[in-house]
Amino acid sequence: MKFLLSIFILVTSFNGNCQTSQSKILGKWKILSLNDREVYYNFKTDSAVLKGLDSTTKQDTSIGMQNLRLTMAIMKNTVYVFANNRDLKIVRQDSIQKAKYKIVTANGKTKLTYNRIGDTFVDSFYVTIKMNMLFLKSTDNSEFNMIFERD
């Protein structure tokens, strides 16, 4: 009987942790910055750093920055809207993408996965919420990270 009670307490506390993580992420989140192996972009300060470029080739750096700024202009006002029914809307100035998301906590890490409706690819991030900011860190080797604030 003690064994069954212990299992019940463990399972309900695990589910409670998942629910807490889910409830903390609900709402609208505006992107503040993104970072990967090649670029860091801060949307709040509108500043960018291209990593790994040869600074002696000014032309490549100039073209790279132009392309980066065009891409970032599209993403500048990106908002992620997490709903209670596990629906996610990614709202950009030129599009709205719908997705389904899932949050799972295991081994002390909380993982957010989502796939866009009509797409088979699944985005996967470790998720942390601190000081009313949402941190998403890729679970693969791409070193892709995003930081959001509540909108």
Instruction: Please calculate the CA angle 34-145-42 and round it to the nearest 5 degrees.
Output: 20
- Rounded to an integer, the average pLDDT of 74-89 is 92
- Strands 123-130 vs 133-138: parallel, antiparallel or unpaired: antiparallel
Residue 57 pLDDT level (bands cut at 50, 70, 90): low
Q: What is the C-alpha R_g of the chain?
A: 19
Q: Which of 92, 82, 1, 76 is nearest to 43 (CA)?
A: 76
User: Per-residue pLDDT averaged across 35-62, rounded?
Assistant: 76
**pLDDT score of 14 more than 50:** no
Distance CA 145, CA 124 (A): 11
Q: Three-state SS for 55?
A: coil
pLDDT value at 17 more than 90: no
Better-scored residue on pLDDT, 93 or 1: 93
Residue-level pLDDT at 73: 80
Q: Was domain 2-150 assigned CATH 3.40.50?
A: no
Task: Give Dmax over CA atoms of the chain in angstroms.
Answer: 73
DSSP string, 95-142: -EEEEEEEEEEETTEEEEEEEETT----EEEEEEEETTEEEEEESSTT
Q: Is the pLDDT of residue 70 over 90?
A: no
> What is the per-residue pLDDT for 5?
30
